[in-house]
Structures are given as structure tokens and as C-alpha cells.
Structure 1
Amino acid sequence: MSHPPFSPAQARAARLRIGLTPEQVVAAMAQLGVRRPAEAVTAWESGTAPPSETELFALADAVWCPVPTLMAVRPRSLREHRLARRFSAERLALRIGMAASAYLRAETDHHWSGTDVQTVLLADALDLEPDELLRVIGRAGALDGLLRQAVEGRWKQHTTALARLVDAPERSVAEALRTLHQEYARFGERYRGHLVARSDDARLKEIAGERAGWLHALPDRFLRLVGPHPGPPAA
């Protein structure tokens, strides 16, 4: 397995912030069951050798620093979210009732194949909001595509598929789609109205730009309309 994301600068800053020497850091790590020489801390901070996942977790405890700070990334992938929540792959797999080999395959292949229950447990363990869960397990594209088809055409025929994708009540999804379809239609009405009125190109481009921005934010708006905490998508 590859090494986790790691910032040598953040690690050094965290150690200096609480006034520890490398020797004191490894002593604290040893109390956590991870024994390394002081040279390992020096190597991590200089960027010549990154820590393993186990070393990262122990180092974070030793220097009193959140793991995401030492990673210096905003978690986006399934693995990064797991690391940010301080789970080993094996422990998270056990938590969600999945074989460790199947879970690791999901991380490396970037393809989630968990069951409905496993998906719910994953969202709970990693504290993922619905929109982030969709991105992490690779279904954000499916949501965006279905939503665009719904607002641009007959929204009712997409209700069931979208309700299953986000595991929300069909009634809530239908109400959200009706609202979004109406909002989208208004862009067309405004655009056609300005065409008839022979407005200048700048005004038409402004409406087109507003429509593009609305479409870009469509998944987030849909999830807010469906409810604050819709369930995760089905497998």
C-alpha cells in the first residue's frame, strides 16, 4: 500500500508548537506501541521518508495534532476520508461488515461495491454528508446526469431512479424535482423573452451564465431540497 498524504512542514510545526524534541516524540509514540528511532522523525520532517499509516496515527497523537492537519489535504478519496477518521483499512472493513480484501479493492479501484447496509455504515463511520458520500463512492456523476435529464425533460419519470440513488422518499424527491424543473423553465422563459424583445448580446450572455451556474450547483440544491440528511445511495 502506498504511503498516506503527509506534510513534513506541518509535522515539524506541530512538534515545535508543543516544544518536543524528536527523541521525546518517539518516546511518546512508543507508549502507543509504535517504536521508531528518533531519526525516523527527522526523516519525516525533512521529507526524505514518509510515515506509514500506523506511524501517521501515532505521530498525530504524540504531537497533539489532528491527522488531517498532518496530511495537509482536504479529504476527497475514500482512503483519505478513512485516514482522516483514523481507521485502518482492516478496522473500517470490520466496522461496516465487509471483507478487508473487498474494502481494499474498493479503495484501490475507486469503485464501491458495498451493499445498502454497508454503505449506510460507511457514511456513519466516516461522518460523510450525502453529497460527499456520492463523490467518495463515485456516484456524483450519475446524480448530476439524472438531475439534468429531469429538469430538462419529463421530471416525473426520473423520480424513482433518483429516490433510489440517494435513498430518499419518492415524495420528497418528487417535490424537489418539481421545484427544480420550474426554476429551470424560468431561465428558458427569460431567455426567449429577451430574444423577442431583441435585447443585446450582453444580456443574453448574462442569462446563459446564470443558467450555467445554476446547473453547476444542481446536485447540492437537489440534496438540500430533499432534506438535510437523506440516506446514502444504494449499491
Structure 2
Amino acid sequence: MSHPPFSPAQARAARLRIGLTPDHVVSAMAQLGIHLPVQVVTLWESGAVAPSEAELFALANALWCPVPELMGVRPRSLREHRLARQFSAERLALRIGMDVHDYARAENEHRWNGTDRQTLMLADALDLEHGELLRVIGGAGELDGLLRQAVEGRWKQYTASLARLVGAPERRVAQALRTLHAEYGRFNERYMGHLVARSDDARLKEIATERAAWLLALSDRFLHLVGHDARPSP
């Protein structure tokens, strides 16, 4: 497996912030079961080499800082979210009741095949809200597509599918879709109104830009309307 994301500058800054020398760092890591020569800390901070997952976890503990700070990135992928919570792949697989090889395949292939229960447990283990969960497991594309079809056409026929996808009651999903369908309709009414009135191109482009921005945020708006506590049902 490749090395995790790592920021040499952040690691050095974290060490200096609490006044530790490289010797102090390797000593603290040794107490956590990771035994390394002191030169390794310097190599990490210079960017010459990167720590393994186990070394990254131990380094974060030794420096009293969150793992994401040392990663230097905002977690986006399944692996990055796992690392941010200091789970090894084996421990997370055990936590959610999934075969470790199946879990490793999901990370490597960026394709989630877990059951509803495993998905629910994954969200709990990694503390993911539903919008982020969908992005992590690859369901965001399906959500975006269904929502676009719902607001542009007959929204009622998409209620059941969307309720299953986001794990929310059909009643709340229906209310959200009704609201979104009306909002989308108002964009079209404004655009057609200005088109008939032969408004200048600048005004038409302004409305089109507003609608494009609204569509870009459609999934987040929908999840807000149905409630942030929505989770896939086990």
C-alpha cells in the first residue's frame, strides 16, 4: 500500500510548537511500539521519505496533534477519512463487520459494495454526515442525477428511489422535492419572462448563472431539507 498523505512542514511545525527535539519524538513513538532511528524524523521533515500509516498514527500521538494536520489535506477519499480517524484497514473492517479483503478492494478501486448495515456502521465509525458519506462511497453521482431528473420533470416518481438512497422517510423526501421543483420552476419562469420581454443578454445570462449555481448546490440543498441526520437504513 502507498504511503499516506503527509506534510513535512506541518510535522515540523507541530514538533516545534510543543518544544520537542527529534530525539524526544522517537522516544515517544517507541513507547507506542514504533522504534525508529532519530534520523528518520529529520528525513520526514525534509520530505525525503514519508511515514507509513502506523508511523503516521504514532507520530500524531507523539506530537499531540490530529492526524489530518500531519496529512496536510482535507480528507476526501475513503482511505483519507479512515486515516483521519486513526483506523488501520483491518481494524475498520472488523469494526463494520466486513471482510478485510473486501474492504481493501473498496479503498483501492474506489467502489463501495458494503451492505446497508456496513454502510451505516462506516458512517458512524468515520463520523460522516450523509452528504460526505455519499461522496466517499461514490453515491453522490447517483444522487445528483436523480435530483436533476426530479426537478426537471415529474418529481413524485423519484420519491421512493431518493428515500432509499438517503435513508430518509418518503414524506420528508416528497416535501423536499416539492420545494426544489418549485424553486427550479421559478428560475425557468424568470428566464422565459425576460426572454419574451426581449431583455438584454446580460440579464438572461445572470439568471442562467444563478440557475447553474443552484443546480451545483442541489444535493446539499436537498440533504438540508430532508435533515442532516439521514443515514442509510440497515
TM-score band, normalised by the shorter chain?
Answer: over 0.9
Which residue of the partner structure matches residue 181 of structure 2?
181
Which residue of the partner structure matches residue 5 of structure 1?
5
Residue 167 of structure 1: CA displacement? 1.1
On the 8 A contact 2:164/2:232 being kept in 1, the answer is no
Which residue of the partner structure matches residue 77 of structure 1?
77
Equivalent residue of 1:199, what SS? Answer: coil
Gaps of 5+ in 1: none
The residue type equivalent to 1:150 in the other structure is A
Which residue of the partner structure matches residue 43 of structure 1?
43
Which residue of the partner structure matches residue 153 of structure 2?
153
The residue type equivalent to 1:4 in the other structure is P
Which residue of the partner structure matches residue 172 of structure 1?
172
- Structure 1 moving runs of 4+ over 6 Å: none
TM-score, structure 2 normalization: 0.98
Residue 233 of structure 1: CA displacement? 7.4
* In structure 2, C-alpha distance between the alignment counterparts of 1:233 and 1:223, rounded to whole Å: 15
* Alpha-carbon displacement from aligned partner over 1:30-81 (angstroms, at most 9, x marks no partner): 1111111101111111111100000000001111111000000000000000
Q: Flag the 1:211–1:59 CA change in 2: closer, same or farther, 3 A.
A: same
* In structure 2, C-alpha distance between the alignment counterparts of 1:72 and 1:29, rounded to whole Å: 20
The residue type equivalent to 2:118 in the other structure is Q
Which residue of the partner structure matches residue 142 of structure 1?
142
Which residue of the partner structure matches residue 197 of structure 1?
197
The size of the alignment, in residue pairs, is 234
* In structure 1, C-alpha distance between the alignment counterparts of 2:79 and 2:122, rounded to whole Å: 12
The residue type equivalent to 2:9 in the other structure is A
Equivalent residue of 1:37, what SS? Answer: coil
TM-score, structure 1 normalization: 0.98
On the 8 A contact 2:129/2:228 being kept in 1, the answer is no
* In structure 1, C-alpha distance between the alignment counterparts of 2:57 and 2:105, rounded to whole Å: 22
* In structure 2, C-alpha distance between the alignment counterparts of 1:91 and 1:130, rounded to whole Å: 22
RMSD: 1.0
* Alpha-carbon displacement from aligned partner over 1:78-116 (angstroms, at most 9, x marks no partner): 000000001000000000000111101000000000000
On the 8 A contact 1:7/1:70 being kept in 2, the answer is yes
